[in-house]
Amino acid sequence: MPEREIYDPLRKKNVARTPEEEVRQQVISWLHESCGVSLMRMESEYGFVYNRRRYRADVLVFDRALQPLLLVECKAPDVPLGAAVVDQVTRYARVLPVRYILVTNGPTTHILRRRPEGDGFDYCSEIPEGWLDA
């Protein structure tokens, strides 16, 4: 019988094991183990208000000054990462002044970097080296 829950080290509790949650936990693990992001600099289900409505970012990574740096949007593996998903997360970035956005459904990942002028995002092939120290 498959486990019904999965542990989220950021929320420090077991949460329902959904396909989207499995993707989120894979990203958290990758950020921590491969990129060296401290768990203390990440938050799951980060709440914010946009156009008077409440939203939640799947994962938010903060820089050393504890300012938003990377916004992560996770979808279930069977959800295509089309323009609507990218539009959703770039709208979130109007409120959360991040430099980078990572959108993933597990098999497919898109990385976006804020333009130097600050007026939108461009796709990039990877998060640049040293991004965490910026």
Task: Look at the block and give the residue holding tokens 């970035």.
Answer: 93
For the segment 40-64, what is each residue's pLDDT rounded down to a tens digit? Answer: 999 999 999 988 999 999 999 999 9
CA proximity to 29, closest of 74, 64, 80, 77: 74
Per-residue pLDDT band at 107 (split at 50, 70, 90): very high
User: All domains of the chain, ordered by start, with CATH?
Assistant: 5-133 (3.90.1570.30)
Please give the Cα distance from 131 to 127 (Å, whole number): 7
Strand partners, 44: 59
The stretches of 77-122 forming alpha helices (DSSP H) are: 83-95
- Determine the average pLDDT of the residues in 12-22: 96
Q: In what order do the strands lie in the sheet with 100-104?
A: 42-50, 53-62, 68-74, 100-104, 109-114, 121-124
pLDDT tier, 112 (very low <50, low <70, confident <90, very high otherwise): very high
Put simply, whether the predicted model's pTM sits higher than 0.85 gets the answer yes
pLDDT score, position 115: 92
Per the listing, tokens 């938010």 go with 60
75-96 pLDDT, tens digit each: 999 999 999 999 989 999 989 9
Residue 52 to residue 23: CA distance in whole angstroms? 29
Q: Which residue is associated with the tokens 């939108």?
A: 120
The mean pLDDT of 18-22, rounded to a whole number, is 97
Q: Looking at residue 50, what is its pLDDT?
A: 87
pLDDT value at residue 118: 76
Token digits for 68?
């938003």
Structure letter (DSSP) for residue 127: P
